[in-house]
A and B are shown apart, each in its own frame.
Chain A
């Protein structure tokens, strides 16, 4: 199969594309390549991980009053590799509680929502704990994102503040063996009064078009 660059070269050679006099073929190819570089890359996939649960209720408030752990606001937008907003995407997330335990009997720290017309989503939760047996190195939130006309995205979000990364996720991302890139490790912004600190994380999701 021909790459788009090769198609463009062939079209230029065959005269199927006429270039305005001020632009050479090389400059047009350069512009095309620059455009390709700026195209959004799909969010890297990551294994589903344990304990996906069907019939998760539509709910974006996963944190109950008095829950232990650092309150967390997770937000972002869903768009695709064309750069278009995906307004009909459904996001499902699940995570452990502050102590690193999943709820298997119910739906605590599990939620689902459809993004708004701008592709935006928000979940209110807590920073998940580490697994008690350290069978995985890092705190994480599981994501499944589905939208008509797009490839389902299964991924996980990680936190730059995780002690496992020792303050340098770019260098130490492989401390989590299933991470092949630091792209899934997001900065954590702490806000609020000293006695009411709140973590905010943005995680933009880019889907591949079918």
Chain B
């Protein structure tokens, strides 16, 4: 009898959990014929999506209207990286001038589309703005922090080898966390480049982000593990339950209670069709999105849901998950 009650209770809980979760596609955008999306990112406000496309054009789309707001290109130079500033005012784009060596960074005002800054940087695919938009971290074969206004490099924070896949500033802009190819995560003083702490993993981490209070750092690695780290010591405080795939991207909610994780398949790198929302404190799954044939690009927490962009065939979709 007790077992039956327990099973019934469990089934009810599962049903509640299943019914509590919902995903829906809120916008469908048709891409130009023959164009495929190679990478994409959504502004923190959830109003814009920038896609880095197969025809060497960065396209910026409105999530509300689905309209193409701006194509950005640089002749034959392919775009390498694209990222919005945290307040959504600016878009940074890098174009590759000499592969693995030299690129050009351009920062656009997303209202006027005026180019605010342009300077030569190392060839870089990973970009991150500081919260005040005054600093920018970039990574390709090397990892560096730059002052945007003066177009000057502040610090070379390259790992011993391998560059960095993930970069993120602390909420106060003082620190940078890097997810490094040599299987370490490092936290640096963003101004001086002085190393604050280092955490070793077995396989390389690909994504890292500070909690909104700056008191912890969340790192996802290719060992299918999400670790919560003390930024001062670099010690791993705890881990979330084993993850279902390679952690390509993670996004912490503004209240720090949830993390959205985008997963890759270890044997099929082009398969990025899985997204989960986790409760950071309890380590439980809040929502699970996985659809065959869809590639999840990236998203942001908007109100009570996670809004993200995904592509399938010749369409760019804006989705909501909660």
Task: State yes or no: do A and B come from one complex.
Answer: yes
> Is B222 among interface residues, defined by CB-CB distance under 8 A?
yes
Which partner residue on chain B sits nearest A44 by CB separation?
B100
Tell me which residues from 157 to 185 in chain B have a Cβ below 8 Å from any Cβ of chain A: 160-163, 181-183
Contact with B along A35-62 (1 / 0, CB 8 A): 0000000000111101111110000000
> Is A21 among interface residues, defined by CB-CB distance under 8 A?
no
CB distance from A103 to the nearest CB of B (A): 10
Contact with A along B59-101 (1 / 0, CB 8 A): 0000000000000000000000000000000000000000110
> Is A199 among interface residues, defined by CB-CB distance under 8 A?
no
Instruction: Decide: A51 and B270 in contact? CB cutoff 8 A.
Output: no
Residues of B within 8 A of A (CB): 99-100, 141, 160-163, 181-183, 200-204, 222-223, 266-271
Please name all residues of chain A whose beta carbon is closer than 8 Å to the beta carbon of B201 when the two chains form the complex.
54
Q: Could you write out 28 A-B pairs with CB less than 8 Å apart?
A: A45-B141, A47-B163, A48-B163, A48-B181, A50-B204, A50-B222, A51-B204, A51-B222, A52-B162, A53-B202, A53-B203, A53-B204, A54-B182, A54-B201, A54-B202, A54-B203, A104-B266, A132-B267, A133-B267, A133-B271, A135-B269, A146-B160, A152-B160, A154-B141, A154-B162, A178-B100, A180-B99, A180-B100
Instruction: Decide: A55 and B202 in contact? CB cutoff 8 A.
Output: yes
Q: Give the interface residue-count category, chain A.
A: 20 to 34
Please name all residues of chain A whose beta carbon is closer than 8 Å to the beta carbon of B160 when the two chains form the complex.
146, 152
> Is A131 among interface residues, defined by CB-CB distance under 8 A?
yes
Instruction: Decide: A54 and B200 in contact? CB cutoff 8 A.
Output: yes
* Bound CA span A101–B266, Å: 8
Please name all residues of chain B whose beta carbon is closer than 8 Å to the beta carbon of A101 when the two chains form the complex.
267
CB distance from B179 to the nearest CB of A (A): 12
CB distance from B279 to the nearest CB of A (A): 26
* Bound CA span A46–B99, Å: 10
> Is A144 among interface residues, defined by CB-CB distance under 8 A?
yes
Partner of A102, one of B181, B200, B266, B268: B266
CB distance from A53 to the nearest CB of B (A): 5
Interface centre among B141, B183, B267, B268 (most CB of A within 10 A): B267
CB distance from A210 to the nearest CB of B (A): 12
Instruction: Decide: A131 and B269 in contact? CB cutoff 8 A.
Output: yes
Please name all residues of chain A whose beta carbon is closer than 8 Å to the beta carbon of B203 when the two chains form the complex.
51-54, 104
CB distance from A163 to the nearest CB of B (A): 20
Partner of A48, one of B99, B161, B270: B161
Instruction: Decide: B100 and A52 in contact? CB cutoff 8 A.
Output: no
* Bound CA span A48–B269, Å: 16
* Bound CA span A178–B163, Å: 15
CB distance from B222 to the nearest CB of A (A): 6
Instruction: Decide: A52 and B269 in contact? CB cutoff 8 A.
Output: no
CB distance from A206 to the nearest CB of B (A): 16
* Bound CA span A98–B18, Å: 41
* Bound CA span A52–B141, Å: 15
Partner of B100, one of A47, A131, A146: A47
* Bound CA span A52–B222, Å: 9
* Bound CA span A133–B268, Å: 5
Please name all residues of chain B whose beta carbon is closer than 8 Å to the beta carbon of A104 when the two chains form the complex.
203, 222-223, 266
CB distance from A179 to the nearest CB of B (A): 9
Please name all residues of chain A whose beta carbon is closer than 8 Å to the beta carbon of B182 when the two chains form the complex.
52, 54
Please name all residues of chain B whose beta carbon is closer than 8 Å to the beta carbon of A54 when the two chains form the complex.
182-183, 200-203
Instruction: Decide: B202 and A144 in contact? CB cutoff 8 A.
Output: no
* Bound CA span A107–B165, Å: 22
* Bound CA span A52–B100, Å: 19
Interface centre among A104, A144, A152, A178 (most CB of B within 10 A): A104
Please name all residues of chain A whose beta carbon is closer than 8 Å to the beta carbon of B162 when the two chains form the complex.
48, 52, 144, 154
* Bound CA span A104–B204, Å: 11
* Bound CA span A131–B267, Å: 8
Please name all residues of chain A whose beta carbon is closer than 8 Å to the beta carbon of B223 when the two chains form the complex.
104
Which partner residue on chain A sits nearest B163 by CB separation?
A48
Please name all residues of chain A whose beta carbon is closer than 8 Å to the beta carbon of B202 when the two chains form the complex.
53-55
Please name all residues of chain B whose beta carbon is closer than 8 Å to the beta carbon of A144 when the two chains form the complex.
161-162
Please name all residues of chain B whose beta carbon is closer than 8 Å to the beta carbon of A45 when the two chains form the complex.
100, 141
Partner of A133, one of B161, B163, B269: B269
Instruction: Decide: A52 and B270 in contact? CB cutoff 8 A.
Output: no
